[in-house]
Amino acid sequence: MRVVVGQGSCGVATGARKTAAEFEKQIADKGLGIDVTVTGCVGTCYLEPIVDVYEDNGDMTRYVKVQPENVEKIVDEHLAGGKKVEEQAIDDIDKEFVTKQERIVLRNCGIINPENIDEYIAVDGYKAIEKALTMKPEEVIEEMKASGLRGRGGAGFPTWFKWNAAKASPGNEKYLVCNADEGDPGAFMDRSVLEGDPHSLLEGMIIGGYAMGASEGIIYCRAEYPLAIKRLEIAMEQAREKGFLGKNIFDSGFDFDIRIKAGAGAFVCGEETALIASLEGERGMPRLKPPFPAAKGYWQKPTDINNVETLANVPWIIYNGGAAFAKYGTEKSPGTKVFALAGKIKKGGLVEVPMGMTIRDVIFGIGGGIKNDREFKAVQMGGPSGGCVPADLADTPVTYEDITKTGAIVGSGGMIVMDEDTCMVDMARYFLNFTRDESCGKCNYCRIGTKRMLEILERITEGKGEDGDIEKLEELAIKIKEGSLCGLGQTAPNPVLTTIKYFRNEYEDHIYNKTCTAKSCKALIQYKITDTCKGCTLCARNCPVDAIEGNVKELHKIDQDKCIKCGKCMDHCKFDAIIKE
Amino acid sequence: MSEKACGCGCDGNRAAQFADLAPTLEKYAKVPGSLITILQKAQDIYGYLSPDAINYISEQTGIKPAKIYGVATFYAQFRLEPIGKYLIMLCKGTACHVNGADMIEEAISEHLNIADGETTEDGLFTLNNVACLGCCSLAPVMMVRSSEGDETYGNLTKDRVREVLDEIRKNAEVTA
C-alpha cells in the first residue's frame, strides 16, 4: 500500500504539504510502514488537496479536500483498518471531471511521481525516443505530419513544418528551444506538465532534437514557476544518469543535452524573436521576420521553438503513431487540447478534451456550469490576444478555425468563464491595461495606441464616456493591428473588438445611460440601505468615511456625496439590507 | 581594488562587498548572453539591484551600465529598490481579476498602508502585483516569498488576507 499526495502549485496552495507531513507523522507514529510519495496536479484543482491511496493490487481510492485534521481518520480506518472513508472519498460526479476527458498530454499528471524517473519509465517513458532513434529523422517528421499536431502555444502552426524547416536549414549547430514562459494570464497547463510530468517534455525535446539535427535544447521557463524549475532540474539530472540525455543516447551516436534558462517576466517574450533576444541576455524585443528563427535564431543559428504542451504530446505520438493521434479531434484541428477552466466556474481546473468539443460541453459538461448557478455570460479565450465569446455562441466547437471565426482564438487554452456580474467593458479595460504594460515599446502604434485605448476605456468605466468613444476605439484598434510588428500588438485590440462586437449595448449603457449592468464599475453604482435594515449600526461603525447616518434600531441612510463605494457596509451587514444599484 | 575609481559612494572594496556574487561571475561573466542570469543571481542574494551592484557587474562583464539598466528595467522581475522581508506577490491574472483581486489589493493596501511596489516602514512587507501565478482555479491567489521559501495562499477573501498577514507578522516577531 502507498499514499500519494498531489503537490502541484495549486495543491500546495491549499495546504497539500501540511497534509503530506501529517500522513508521514501519523504513519510513523502508528508504525504502519507505508510510503508517502508525491505527484503532480491531476487537474481537479477545486478538490485539492487530493490524496490517492493505492492498494497492493493496484486499486486506488481518491480522497479529496484532505486537510491535516482529516488525516487521522483515513490513517486509522483505511490504512490501518482497510476500510474506505466514504465521506472523504471523491464522489461519482466529481470522478466524471476526469473520466470525461481524453488525456494525452496530461496522461501522467497526478499519477506518477515527477521526481522519480523510474515511475515515468514504468509507464513506457523514454520508449518513444528509443523508437525514434531506430527511425530516420525524416521518418520522425513524417510521423509528426501524420499526427497533424499544431503548436499549442497560441499560433497553431503545424509542428512538423517547423521541425522540417529547422532540419532543412544549413549548418551543424542548431537549437531546440522550449517556450515554457507561459505568459497568458489564466492559462496554467504548461505549469502542470512541468510540475507533474517533466520527463515527457524532456523526451519530446530529445525526439525533436533528433529529428531536426539539434544537439542542444533550452527550456525558457518563467521565473514565477519555482516548483517547475526545481522539478525540471531533478528530471534532467536523473535523465543524464540514465543516459537519456548527454552523449551517445541509446548507443545511437546522437548527442543531446538540455539546459534551463529562467525568464524574467515579460509577456512579449512569448514572441519567438523576442524570446531569442531574451535568451541572448538582451531586452526581449521582437524583430522583423524573415529571417525566421528556423534559418537565423539563437546566436544566428537555426532554431526551432515549440511550446511545452506541444512537446509533451510528442512522445505519445511517436510511440503510438501519428494516425492514433489524428483519430482525436477534427480534420483541421487534430488531437486533444488542454484547457484551463477558471473564473466563475463550479469546477475549475485543467481539462484535456478532443478538439471539436463544444464550448458548452467543456463548461457545463465537465466544468459543472457556473459558480453559484448564476447566468453564463461569456467565456474569454486566448488571454490578452483573444476575445470574449458570448453565451449564445456556446455551441461553437473548440477548433482553431471555429474559435477564430468568433474573433477570439484558441490561444494557449485559457478559458475564463464570466457570469452576469462581470462587466465586459471592465474586462476590455483589464486586458488593455495588461497589453499596455507589456508592450515592449518598439512600435509606435502598440506603445502609444494601447495607452490611448486604455485611457478611453478608463473614462468609460468611470462614467465619463462620450459620444464617439466606441468609434474611436474601433479606429485605433485597426491601426494598432496594422501598425505592429509582432503578435502582441497585432492581437492586443482583440478583447476590445470582441466585446464591442458582442456587448455593444454594455458600452452604450456606460457611455449614454451612465449605468453598469453588471454593477461592477464603482463610479456607476450606488450603495443603498433597504427596509430590511434593523438599525444595528454595524455599517455606520465600519464606514471609513462616516457616510452612514442613523440611530440605533432605526433605518440607516448612506450619504451618496460622502460614499467612496468601498463596499465595507455591504460586507458587514448581517441582514442583507444593503444593495448595489 | 585599493584605490577608489568608481565614484559611486562605496568604500572602494567592491570585491569584498560582492563576494557572494563571485562564483556566479566566475561562471558567467565571460559567457555571452548570461546577463539576465547574473542579474537574477544578484537579486537573489541582495534582494534588489543596487547602483553599486550594477556598476560592479558592469566592471566584471564589460557590459555598459546603461545596457544593464536597460535590461533590468525591461523585465518585471528586477527591482531597483530594496524589498521587505516578505514579498507579497498578488496575482492580477484574469481569473483572479474576475474573482475580485482588486478587492484583495485594497485590503492589503489598507491593512499594511502600502501600495503596489511599496514596502512597509518596518521593512517587513513589500507588495508587488504580478501577472499570473498559474493557480487560476484557486483565484484570488497570492504568493509570499521570503528566506523561508514560497508560500501560496488561495481562495482569498478580505478577511482571510488580513489574517494571513497578521499571522506572518506575529511569527516574524516571535523569531525576531
Nearest to B60 by CA among B75, B82, B78, B39: B39
For the cut 70, the answer to whether the pLDDT of residue A286 exceeds it is yes
Over chain B (176 residues), the average pLDDT of each successive run of 10 is: 51 81 95 95 93 95 97 94 93 90 94 95 94 85 90 91 96 84
**What is chain B's length?**
176
pLDDT for B2: 42
Cell of B140: 484570488
Nearest to A184 by CA among A388, A435, A428: A435
From chain B, the residues in CB contact with A342 under 8 A are 94-95, 136-137, 139
Cell of A51: 490524496
CB A456 within 8 A of CB A469: yes
* Average per-residue pLDDT for chain A: 95
Q: Which of B48, B135, B144, B158 to mutate to test the interface with A (most CBs of A within 10 A)?
A: B135
pLDDT for B1: 42
pLDDT for A186: 83
| Coil/strand/helix, residue A523 | helix
Q: Tell me which DSSP letter residue A401 carries.
A: H
Q: How many helices (H) and strands (E) does chain A have?
A: 24, 18
Give CA–CA dist A183/A153, Å, rounded. 10
A448 Cβ partners below 8 Å, 6+ apart?
none
pLDDT for B7: 56
Of residues A46, A342, A438, nearest to B95 (C-beta): A342
Q: Which residue of B has its CA nearest to A349?
A: B137
pLDDT digits (tens, 9 = 90+) for A524-538: 999 999 999 999 999
Q: Which residue of A has its CA nearest to B131?
A: A185
Are residues B98 and A344, on separate chains, in Cβ contact within 8 Å?
Answer: yes
| Coil/strand/helix, residue A51 | strand
A64 touches chain B (CB under 8 A): no
Instruction: Give the per-residue SS3 of chain B.
Output: CCCCCCCCCCCCCHHHHCHHHHHHHHHHCCCCCCHHHHHHHHHHHHCCCCHHHHHHHHHHHCCCHHHHHHHHHHCCCCCCCCCCCEEEEEECCHHHHHCCHHHHHHHHHHHHCCCCCCECCCCCEEEEEECCCCCHHHCCCEEEEECCEEEEECCCCHHHHHHHHHHHHHHHHHHC
pLDDT for A251: 94
Are residues B95 and A282, on separate chains, in Cβ contact within 8 Å?
Answer: no
pLDDT digits (tens, 9 = 90+) for A251-271: 999 999 999 999 998 999 999
Print burial letters for A187-202: b (CB count within 10 Å at least 16), e (below 16).
bbbbbbbbbbbbbbbb
- Predicted model pTM: 0.92
Are residues B94 and A186, on separate chains, in Cβ contact within 8 Å?
Answer: yes
A window 324-363, beta carbon within 8 A of B: 340-344, 348-349
From chain A, the residues in CB contact with B76 under 8 A are 264-266
Are residues B95 and A349, on separate chains, in Cβ contact within 8 Å?
Answer: no
pLDDT digits (tens, 9 = 90+) for A147-196: 999 999 888 899 999 999 999 999 999 999 999 998 888 888 999 999 99
Of residues B34, B76, B135, nearest to A281 (C-beta): B34
Are residues B137 and A10, on separate chains, in Cβ contact within 8 Å?
Answer: yes
B103 Cβ partners below 8 Å, 6+ apart?
A567, B140, B158
pLDDT for A566: 84
Residue A198: asked if its preceding bond is cis (omega within 30°), the reply is no
From chain B, the residues in CB contact with A430 under 8 A are 94, 97
CB A68 within 8 A of CB A22: yes
Cell of A400: 482553431
Nearest to A559 by CA among A567, A571, A544, A549: A549
pLDDT for A102: 95
Cell of A183: 505568459
| % of chain A at pLDDT higher than 70 | 100
Which H helix or E strand runs over A36?
strand A35-39
Q: How confident is the model at residue A54 (pLDDT cuts 50, 70, 90)?
A: very high
Cell of A321: 503513431
Are residues A266 and B39, on separate chains, in Cβ contact within 8 Å?
Answer: no
Give CA–CA dist A193/A11, Å, rounded. 14
Print burial letters for A290-324: b (CB count within 10 Å at least 16), e (below 16).
eebbbbbbbeebbbbbbbbbbbbbbbbbbbbebee
Cell of A100: 470525461
From chain B, the residues in CB contact with A185 under 8 A are 92-95, 97, 131-132
- ipTM score assigned to the predicted complex: 0.89
Specify the long-range contacts of residues A271-279, CB closer than 8 Å, at least 24 apart: A271/A486, A271/A487, A271/A488, A272/A179, A272/A297, A272/A305, A273/A486, A274/A440, A274/A486, A275/A177, A275/A179, A275/A181, A275/A220, A275/A305, A276/A177, A276/A303, A276/A305, A278/A220, A278/B36, A279/A177, A279/A218, A279/A220, A279/B33
Are residues B71 and A267, on separate chains, in Cβ contact within 8 Å?
Answer: no
In angstroms, how far is the first alpha carbon of chain A from the final one? 57
Residues A339/A342/A348/A351 CA torsion (nearest 10 deg)? 0
Residue B3, min C-alpha distance to chain A (Å): 31
pLDDT digits (tens, 9 = 90+) for A101-153: 999 999 999 999 999 999 999 999 999 999 999 999 999 999 999 999 999 98
**How confident is the model over A496-525, as a mean pLDDT?**
96
CB A48 within 8 A of CB A120: no
Angle of CA points A29, A30, A33, to nearest 5°: 95
Give CA–CA dist A499/A487, Å, rounded. 20
Cβ neighbours around A271 below 10 Å, total: 28
pLDDT for A45: 86
CB B37 within 8 A of CB A260: no
Higher local confidence (pLDDT), A356 or B2: A356
Residue position matching grid coordinates 478580505: B158
For the cut 90, the answer to whether the pLDDT of residue A581 exceeds it is no
A window 116-155, beta carbon within 8 A of B: none
From chain B, the residues in CB contact with A267 under 8 A are 131
A275 Cβ partners below 8 Å, 6+ apart?
A177, A179, A181, A220, A269, A284, A305
Domains and CATH numbers, chain A: 2-92 (3.40.30.10), 117-322 (3.40.50.11540), 336-419 (3.10.20.600), 424-513 (1.20.1440.230), 526-580 (3.30.70.20)
From chain A, the residues in CB contact with B98 under 8 A are 343-344, 416, 418, 422, 427
Q: How far is CA A41 from CA A98, A195, B18, in A?
A: 12, 8, 40
Are residues A282 and B153, on separate chains, in Cβ contact within 8 Å?
Answer: no
Q: In this structure, which amino acid lies at residue A213?
A: G
Angle of CA points A379, A382, A387, to nearest 5°: 55
C-alpha A58: how far from chain center: 31
Q: β-strand B125-130 against B142-146: which pairing, if any?
A: unpaired
Give CA–CA dist A418/B163, Å, rounded. 29
CB A485 within 8 A of CB A444: no
Give CA–CA dist A396/A189, Å, rounded. 22
State phi, psi for A419 to the nearest 5 degrees.
-110, -170
pLDDT for B12: 64
